[in-house]
Structure 1
Amino acid sequence: MIHTTFPATPAAAPPRGVLASLSLAMLLSSLGTSIANVGLPTLAQAFGASFQQVQWVVLAYLLTITTAVVSVGRLGDLLGRRRLLLAGIAVFTAASVLCALAPTLWLLIAARAVQGLGAAVMMALTMALVADAVPPARTGSAMGLLGTMSAVGTALGPTLGGGLLAAWGWPALFFVNLPLGAAALWLARCHLPADREREGAQRPRFDIAGTALLAATLAAYALAMTLGRGQWGTLNAALLAGAALGLALFIGAQRRAEQHGAAPLVPLALFFKGPALGAGFAMGALVTTVVMATLVVGPFYLSGALGLAAPQVGLAMSCGPLVSALAGVPAGRLVDRMGTQRTTLAGLIAMATGSAALALLPAGFGVAGYVLPLAVVTAGYALFQAANNTAVMAATALQPQQRGVVSGLLNLSRNLGLVTGASAMGAVFAWGAGGQGVVAAQPGAVAAGMQATFGVAAVLVVGALGIALAWGGRRHRAASRSA
């Protein structure tokens, strides 16, 4: 007899235990990114490697997440989200130990890729499991909590990593995941609802060809955006062209799979039956590009134009993750009270206002002119993220068997925004600074680059706002016709 897995009923697990296990899984995946960054100089010295070589310790993790997050979300739909999340936490924890014990840099990079696979599972399935296990009236609050834990992991990484490096050396950056991963595994086993087995239905086959095409496409795009550190060349253009070709081949393969009655990796019908999905993915990619701009451009502006020392730069930059962490849960509660449409618009308006202020205020108001608009941008992002994630996952209410792949697509849109923001917004900054080397640029040139970057950022957020308004109008007209 062939079995198909479906999520158990929400009553199968106490909500607090569910949220605790999913929150710790989300924290681990975000901590895995930020904690390694602070150790790159130490790793370069320990392995006698260049910066270009040790940066693959970070890139291997991010590239694996980007290429695998949709596929593992789909696997969760087919095999059972609870059991795959448990496997993902175990892989992440075991790979962390391998990272700490790696005798060479290239073995460390390979272990980081495996760690990224575990992180992709955790990222893809946490939001899907929230939709499975948390009542709809509390989904916004739960999404806000996950956003908070992601921000906490990002903010905690540099501080925790610095302390671990000073006390025990670079292996401690990865050994710290052993107790945290064990705790996450225990909580998930105890509290997540079991995958329910239904007999009599044939399980769709996993789309191996679509998975390979999508992974190659995403890898080509991510490499095009990251190689050369913002300096475009022939290789970047070739990779970008390869990504465009791969996307066309992937869409064709998914259409053929649907026409022949097979189960595609990404059902294209999702984007036509539920306009909320396409709108949510597009808006997520745009606003995450803007958030990444604050991380890429901020340090250069604070040090180059305002003349702050490294500790002061770090303190000013910590404002963003701190506000995001504090705003996540209140933002989720606002979503539950006000609905997703109004809170999405409010978050985007705040981001557009903060981005415009970042382009105009710092030159006249110094550090305060940077920190206060940054707080507005990150608070708006926390509100948008909670609302958008809730709206997109709610759009799968009639197709709960597709929540894993939809959650994976949400995370993919975020990661694509991050890699695009790091490259494209960095290029805008360099262009605005007059094309000179940013490190050696004069304060006035750095300030001009800052204005250009966040002028473009404000335009991107306004574009996302236009998508939100069009989506809301379409939904309103549909509701009027059905009435």
Structure 2
Amino acid sequence: MNRPRNHTHMGKIVQATTVSTPGLNPRRARSIIILLAICTALQMTSYGMIFPLFARKIGDFGDSVAVLATSVMAYSLAGVIAAPFMGSLADRFGRRPLILGSFAVFTVAFTGYYLAATSLVFIVIRGLAGALTAGLGPATMGLVADIAPEDERARWIGVIGGGTSAGFIVGPVVGGLLYDKWGYGPPFLASIGLALLTLLITFFAIPETHTREERRRETLIQKRAARLVPETGTAASTSLSGSVSFMASLPQPLLAFGTLLFINLSMIFAWFFIDPQLPFYVFDELGWSTAQFGAAISFYGWATLIGSLVLGQSSDRLGRKPILIIGLILHSAQYVGLMFTNIYWMIIAAFIIAGFGEALVNPALSAAYLDITPEEHRSRAMGIKAAIGSLGSLLAPALVIIIIRYVPPQTVFSISAALILFTALMVFIALRLPGRTEAARDLAWEASQERVMAAQSALHNVTVSAATARKLKSAA
């Protein structure tokens, strides 16, 4: 409420007791994020239904681990190249086109996987899908950052992660059961139909959160900043077109950014290092059925879903660094379990612990990126994050192809476990994130009584100076 106050020497002053902020109202923002989480859950369900079948399909072509690893490399290489550009496109043209386009590509790609007649065709389709869907993650995180309060980012990123996990709860189990009973047709057709439904819901339910007006304002701010840069050495921080250079747009401090990228790289590398080996190991050596493998992935998904919803906001309260360390240690359990036991339910228990670890790491990691990234470059930063992740998923299967003839599966699992634990140690030693207390203090200052008094004092000084000037002029 605004209260008028009269001052004989200053006229009428209105005291502001609230500070209005632009953007969507909180209820609408929450609704959009929840709807996007539902769409993500549907998309991941459609992918999860056919994910356990990739090894089966490649095996039917007469190929094995090396070819499956090559298909993963094709997907990842395309992502490494495309993700930073896709992130920049999301900053330039908005989040919605990238999200819609990615869901459309998934629908076409799943159809291609089903119709592929050779391993080469399968690999080519995976490569194209990797390039054309590389913008989904950056655009999604950009959307969350656009409308979620800064002190609740990890919470809402956790909700999106919960949607991803929900897909891995339902998809692999249903896909495995359908395949065991009827073969490839039903799981692939159900997956394609669900992907199409996801696209339609997204088209009608998800609006643009990075509007044209906001993009134009950010562009003008960047151009103004560029004009203020001296013509001397510091001008290197801007491009000839007046926009901020790539290096100047990176999150700061760079050491923290590099450490976060290493976390992302190691987690993706660890998983994709065992990914080509895992299905053949559980099918051929442990004797699991497709449904059992799907159930194991589902238990992992359940743990990640529950953890994301219950623990996702932990880093908002306790800080990013300690949650990252705890989450990484828990996440290593899946690799340790595969190393030391072949008992089905013990492996399931290890997967559940690892799922809780991922539920801690992913929201804290993405929120940490957004904490140190300028508003106008959020999707670009998340694109770099996605590219580094794709680099991990490219290098890991390439190394698998080289060493698969020389090392047993347990050695592969132990390498991934050691990498994750080493990453936790690196976070403990090297990660230094700027505190958010200063931002909170600035926000409090915006509506503080001290600011009101300062404004009144400034107006008083202006009035007195003007009156003095008039008297001097009259006297002259």
Q: TM-score range by the shorter chain?
A: 0.5 to 0.7
CA distance, structure 2, for counterparts of residue 102 and residue 356 of structure 1: 32
Is contact 2:71-2:123 (8 Å) kept? yes
Q: Alpha-carbon deviation of 1:185?
A: 3.7
Residues 252-291 of structure 1: CA deviation (Å, up to 9, x unaligned)? xxx9894545657844551455544332212221233334
Residues 106-134 of structure 1: CA deviation (Å, up to 9, x unaligned)? 66655544443443222221111011122
Residues 151-170 of structure 1: CA deviation (Å, up to 9, x unaligned)? 33345443333345454734
CA distance, structure 1, for counterparts of residue 377 and residue 206 of structure 2: 22
| SS of residue matched to 1:408 | helix
Give the match for residue 250 of structure 1.
none
Structure 1 residue aligned with 2:314, among 304, 312, 334?
334
Q: Alpha-carbon deviation of 1:422?
A: 4.1
Please list, as runs of the form range in 1=range in 2, the aligned pairs for 1:12-51 lying within 5 A after superposition.
Answer: 14-27=28-41, 30=44, 34-40=48-54, 43-44=57-58, 50-51=63-64
Is contact 1:33-1:62 (8 Å) kept? no
Give the match for residue 290 of structure 1.
270
Give the match for residue 205 of structure 2.
190
1:264–1:68: structure 2 CA closer, same or farther, 3 Å change rule?
A: farther
Give the match for residue 196 of structure 2.
181
Which amino acid is the alignment partner of residue 380 of structure 1? G
Which amino acid is the alignment partner of residue 466 of structure 1? I
Give the match for residue 376 of structure 1.
353
CA distance, structure 1, for counterparts of residue 74 and residue 411 of structure 2: 33
1:152–1:418: structure 2 CA closer, same or farther, 3 Å change rule?
A: farther
Is contact 1:83-1:195 (8 Å) kept? no
1:183–1:426: structure 2 CA closer, same or farther, 3 Å change rule?
A: closer
CA distance, structure 2, for counterparts of residue 44 and residue 277 of structure 1: 38
Is contact 1:141-1:332 (8 Å) kept? yes
CA distance, structure 2, for counterparts of residue 452 and residue 93 of structure 1: 35
Structure 2 residue aligned with 1:394, among 371, 376, 379?
371
1:118–1:168: structure 2 CA closer, same or farther, 3 Å change rule?
A: farther
CA distance, structure 1, for counterparts of residue 371 and residue 195 of structure 2: 30
Residues 342-366 of structure 1: CA deviation (Å, up to 9, x unaligned)? 32233234446x4896599x36x96
For these two proteins, the number of residue pairs brought into alignment is 400
Structure 2 residue aligned with 1:79, among 80, 93, 96?
93
CA distance, structure 2, for counterparts of residue 9 and residue 104 of structure 1: 50
Is contact 2:260-2:365 (8 Å) kept? yes
Is contact 1:18-1:188 (8 Å) kept? no
How does the TM-score come out when normalised to structure 1? 0.66
Q: Alpha-carbon deviation of 1:189?
A: 3.6
CA distance, structure 2, for counterparts of residue 355 and residue 161 of structure 1: 22
Is contact 2:162-2:306 (8 Å) kept? yes
1:380–1:426: structure 2 CA closer, same or farther, 3 Å change rule?
A: farther
Is contact 1:26-1:149 (8 Å) kept? yes
Give the match for residue 393 of structure 2.
418
Give the match for residue 287 of structure 2.
309
Which amino acid is the alignment partner of residue 52 of structure 2? V
| SS of residue matched to 1:377 | helix
CA distance, structure 2, for counterparts of residue 62 and residue 416 of structure 1: 6
Structure 2 residue aligned with 1:127, among 135, 141, 148?
141
Please list, as runs of the form range in 1=range in 2, the aligned pairs for 1:256-267 lying within 5 A after superposition.
Answer: 258=238, 260-261=240-241, 263=243, 266-267=246-247
CA distance, structure 2, for counterparts of residue 478 and residue 12 of structure 1: 23
Q: Alpha-carbon deviation of 1:386?
A: 1.1
Is contact 1:350-1:377 (8 Å) kept? yes
Aligned-residue sequence identity (percent) comes to 19
Q: Alpha-carbon deviation of 1:91?
A: 3.7
CA distance, structure 1, for counterparts of residue 298 and residue 31 of structure 2: 30
Please list, as runs of the form range in 1=range in 2, the aligned pairs for 1:122-161 lying within 5 A after superposition.
Answer: 122-161=136-175
CA distance, structure 1, for counterparts of residue 132 and residue 78 of structure 2: 9
Which amino acid is the alignment partner of residue 406 of structure 1? A
CA distance, structure 2, for counterparts of residue 65 and residue 21 of structure 1: 26
Residues 434-461 of structure 1: CA deviation (Å, up to 9, x unaligned)? x7563xxxxxxx6566556534542343
Which amino acid is the alignment partner of residue 98 of structure 2? L
Q: Alpha-carbon deviation of 1:421?
A: 4.1
How does the TM-score come out when normalised to structure 2? 0.67
Is contact 2:329-2:420 (8 Å) kept? no
CA distance, structure 1, for counterparts of residue 83 and residue 381 of structure 2: 10
Is contact 1:97-1:175 (8 Å) kept? no
| SS of residue matched to 2:98 | helix
Of the two, which has the highest radius of gyration? 2
CA distance, structure 2, for counterparts of residue 71 and residue 118 of structure 1: 11
| SS of residue matched to 2:366 | helix
| SS of residue matched to 1:120 | coil
Report which stretch shifted further, 139-148 or 368-377: 368-377
Residues 7-44 of structure 1: CA deviation (Å, up to 9, x unaligned)? x8233972343124422443466456654443346645
Which amino acid is the alignment partner of residue 462 of structure 1? L
Which amino acid is the alignment partner of residue 250 of structure 2? L
Could you tell me which runs of 5 or more consecutive residues in structure 2 were left unpaired when the two chains were aligned. Answer: 1-21, 221-234, 443-476
Please list, as runs of the form range in 1=range in 2, the aligned pairs for 1:197-236 lying within 5 A after superposition.
Answer: 197-198=212-213
Give the match for residue 408 of structure 1.
383
Which amino acid is the alignment partner of residue 135 of structure 2? V
| SS of residue matched to 1:270 | coil
Give the match for residue 6 of structure 2.
none
Residues 128-151 of structure 1: CA deviation (Å, up to 9, x unaligned)? 101112233432221112222223
